[in-house]
């Protein structure tokens, strides 16, 4: 073994050890910085000497190439669901059914993780395949995505000929909130709950996306094993823990169903303090021989049952209603409550969603209400006890100006949400800056969300305009940065100052104003000063600028925050003038609207769209009777179907090329 191969092996083993200490044992021994430094060294060595890369290399955790679709996997041992119980009586009935077949039995009780069930297969200690439960008989091959989960061992401690285990992939509450924060900041749809987020992440065709989600797993059962005798469930979980798996191991067993039920109630009290979601507790027969005697039905094993906790409700009083400003500027009313204990935790606040919800339920300050945790996570008001009113209760009114920054609050027609219009609103700071630097806006390379967060935390910036005043030496001192990275970022900021005006307009994040509208406004008004002075009436006279868009533009430039923000950008030397000439010389597509769908082989969609616009045409995201052509690539879906149903002309890439010759 040469020095290079030896170093790769050393780094692989050391990094895998520290991964296990961090993600499984929850006992890190080195800093994130030290870990990342070793990982970078390994990545560089593997790139240069791929022949020495190990199968269990931690670099696979970042995700490989995207797949076109998931292959089907047949489960030799069916992945059955659980029979469910909702009362103590149903638990006792389960015990009587078990005792009718097996007289002497011990039970184990485990938390029922609210996630996505998967199978992991190992051949001679190497992770070879992972699959979803699917319908219990057939699932999907998600091996590459499962490799990104750092709590899944790629190599076991022992060279077991064959092992198949079952586990539950989940997302911690903290990671769930982080993902939704990022989605909200980029104005993408949010996940409803951690389980949906975990399922959506695991089924990403691109493993790199799955890797960024920081999924986790608990392994809870041995499906098949060769080369090792196991007699009890507890023994099996202890063995799995020795092999490197993350398990929920409760070594207690209960000969009495009453004691097992007491443990269920204890778990119910503890669930609010867990870092992950559970949707019940599971009672299992501990002895594997007894399990064989009991057998399975077509749907579930007879040797286990899942207890589902009832939604817990409590009575309390609303002492006040405060407003919280979200990262997209949406105002959410929060009920300030007399503290009550519910589902394992103390609750003193509950969401009231929006003003329409408050009016519909006639919720007032001072009301006695019933609350419960929706999905055992989010406290919500479900009922007002109106007979407890004494006349002192007060109706809630939404503020007219943001309590965070003082900017105007607006509510657009047809929407439930009230929004802050402030560009410098502290609550929206991260989202606004992320949008400002994004590819379709100012396109500042190397300035990702984590760097922006650090800059905010270190008080280097308050708004996006402050980016142009940050010094290279301050950036160099941040985590995972250095002098070279800092200078590259400064260069990218300098380069962005010369961007076309439309990019800056788009970067402002004015509601309803995207890249296309920004281009229209830039071409029409030529300078930012001209646009600042435009009225709603003037703006609505422009083709493709509707009333809501015009109103948003005017409201944006009315704000003192916006004026100060723009002044700061101008002083930094950011371009505020459109000095481009009309690029549309050939207007062959004037009056035509194109919809692009499917995968194009010769162009990116953005490139094809640019060509259409350069010839005076327009692009749209939806098909209607007004659509002139649908340019369809491979795997065109519902848009193609709609075009055919409406009789809209569908063209191929070859036909499109003929049109632009």
Give the strand pairing for 107-113 and 649-651: unpaired
The secondary structure element, H or E, covering residue 445 is none
| Lookup: tokens for 555 | 């409201």
Element at 535 (helix H, strand E): none
Q: How far, in Å, CA of 418 to CA of 584, rounded? A: 40
In a 13 Å sphere around the CA of 416, the CA atoms on its Cβ side amount to 11
Q: Measure the CA–CA gap between 485 and 502, rounded to whole angstroms.
A: 28
- The answer for residues whose C-beta is within 8 angstroms of residue 157's C-beta and 6 or more apart is 125, 242, 243, 244
What's the chain's length in residues?
Answer: 661
Identify which of 483, 481, 493, 487 has the alpha carbon closest to the alpha carbon of residue 450. 481
Cα–Cα distance for residue pair 372/8, rounded to 1 Å: 53
3-state secondary structure at position 606:
helix
Report how far residue 115's alpha carbon sits from residue 219's, in angstroms, rounded to the nearest whole number.
12
What single string gives the DSSP state of each residue in 166-186?
Answer: EEEEE--HHHHHHHHHHHHHT
Count of CB atoms situated within 10 Å of the CB of 659: 16
Q: Report the C-alpha gap between 306 and 82 in whole angstroms.
A: 6
Three-state DSSP state, 234? helix
Nearest to 217 by CA among 236, 203, 198: 198
CB atoms under 10 Å from CB of 200, counted, come to 17
What is d(CA 632, CA 433) in angstroms, rounded to the nearest whole number? Answer: 35
Give the whole-angstrom CA distance, residue 9 versus residue 221: 31
**3-class SS of residue 592:** coil
What residues are labeled active site?
112
Distances (CA, A) of 64 to 14, 16, 75, 388, 481: 22, 18, 25, 61, 25
Strands 162-170 and 216-226: antiparallel
- Return the beta strands (E) in 244-386 as ranges: 278-285, 304-307, 313-325, 331-342, 345-351, 368-374, 378-384
Cα 354 from Cα 412, distance rounded (Å):
14
Phi/psi of residue 271, each to 5°?
-60, -30
H-assigned helices in 244-298: 257-270, 288-294
């Amino acid at each position: 073994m040469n020095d290079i191969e030896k170093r790769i092996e050393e780094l692989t083993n050391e990094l895998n050890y520290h991964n296990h200490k961090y993600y499984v044992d929850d006992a890190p021994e080195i800093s994130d910085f030290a870990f990342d430094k070793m990982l970078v060294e390994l990545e560089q060595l593997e790139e240069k000497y791929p022949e020495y890369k190990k199968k269990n290399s931690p670099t696979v955790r970042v995700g490989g190439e995207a797949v076109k679709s998931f292959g089907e996997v047949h489960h030799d041992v069916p992945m059955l669901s659980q029979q469910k119980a909702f009362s103590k009586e149903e638990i006792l009935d389960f015990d009587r059914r078990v005792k009718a077949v097996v007289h002497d039995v011990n039970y184990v009780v485990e938390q029922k993780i609210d996630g996505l069930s998967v199978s992991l297969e190992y051949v001679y200690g190497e992770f070879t395949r992972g699959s979803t439960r699917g319908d219990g008989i057939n699932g999907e091959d998600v091996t590459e995505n499962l490799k990104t989960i750092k709590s899944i061992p790629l190599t076991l401690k022992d060279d077991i000929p064959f092992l198949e285990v079952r586990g539950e992939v989940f997302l911690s509450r903290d990671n769930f909130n982080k993902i939704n924060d990022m989605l909200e900041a980029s104005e993408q749809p949010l996940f409803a709950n951690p389980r949906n987020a975990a399922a959506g992440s695991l089924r990403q065709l691109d493993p790199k996306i799955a890797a960024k989600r920081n999924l986790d797993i608990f392994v809870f059962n041995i499906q098949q094993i060769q080369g090792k005798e196991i007699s009890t469930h507890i023994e099996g979980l202890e063995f799995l823990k020795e092999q490197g798996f993350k398990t929920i191991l409760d070594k207690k067993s209960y000969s009495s169903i009453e004691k097992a039920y007491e443990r269920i109630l204890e778990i119910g009290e503890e669930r609010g303090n867990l870092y992950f979601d559970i949707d019940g507790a599971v009672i299992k027969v501990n002895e594997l021989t007894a399990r064989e005697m009991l057998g399975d039905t077509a749907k579930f094993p007879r040797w286990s049952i899942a207890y589902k906790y009832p939604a817990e409700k409590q009575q309390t009083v609303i002492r006040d209603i405060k407003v919280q400003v979200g990262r997209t500027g949406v105002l959410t009313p929060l009920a300030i409550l007399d503290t009550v204990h519910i589902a394992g935790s103390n609750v003193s606040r509950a969401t009231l969603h929006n003003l329409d919800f408050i009016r519909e339920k006639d919720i007032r300050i001072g009301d006695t209400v019933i609350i419960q945790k929706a999905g055992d996570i989010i406290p919500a008001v479900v009922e007002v006890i109106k007979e407890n009113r004494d006349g002192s209760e007060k109706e809630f009114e939404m503020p007219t100006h943001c309590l965070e920054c003082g900017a105007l609050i607006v509510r657009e027609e047809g929407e439930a949400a009230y929004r802050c219009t402030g560009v410098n609103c502290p609550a929206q700071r991260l989202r606004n800056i992320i949008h400002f630097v994004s590819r379709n806006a100012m396109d500042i390379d190397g300035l990702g969300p984590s760097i922006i967060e650090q800059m905010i935390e270190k008080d280097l910036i308050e708004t996006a305009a402050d980016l142009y005043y940050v010094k290279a030496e301050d950036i160099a001192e941040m985590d995972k940065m250095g002098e070279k990275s800092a200078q590259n970022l400064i260069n990218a900021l300098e380069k962005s100052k010369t961007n076309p005006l439309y990019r800056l307009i788009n970067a402002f994040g004015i509601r309803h104003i995207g890249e296309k509208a920004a281009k229209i406004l830039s071409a029409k008004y030529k300078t930012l000063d001209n646009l600042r002075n435009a009225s709603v009436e003037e703006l609505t006279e422009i083709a493709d600028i509707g009333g809501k868009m015009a109103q948003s533009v005017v409201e944006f430039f009315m704000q003192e925050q916006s004026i100060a923000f723009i002044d700061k950008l101008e002083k930094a030397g950011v371009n505020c003038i459109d000095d481009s000439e009309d690029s549309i010389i050939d207007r062959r597509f004037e009056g035509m609207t194109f919809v692009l769908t499917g995968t194009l082989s010769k162009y990116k969609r953005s490139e094809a769209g640019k060509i259409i616009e350069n010839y005076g045409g327009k692009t749209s995201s939806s098909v209607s009777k007004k659509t002139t052509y649908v340019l369809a690539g491979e795997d065109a879906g519902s848009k193609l179907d709609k075009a055919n149903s409406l009789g809209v002309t569908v063209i191929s890439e070859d036909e499109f090329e003929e049109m632009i010759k």
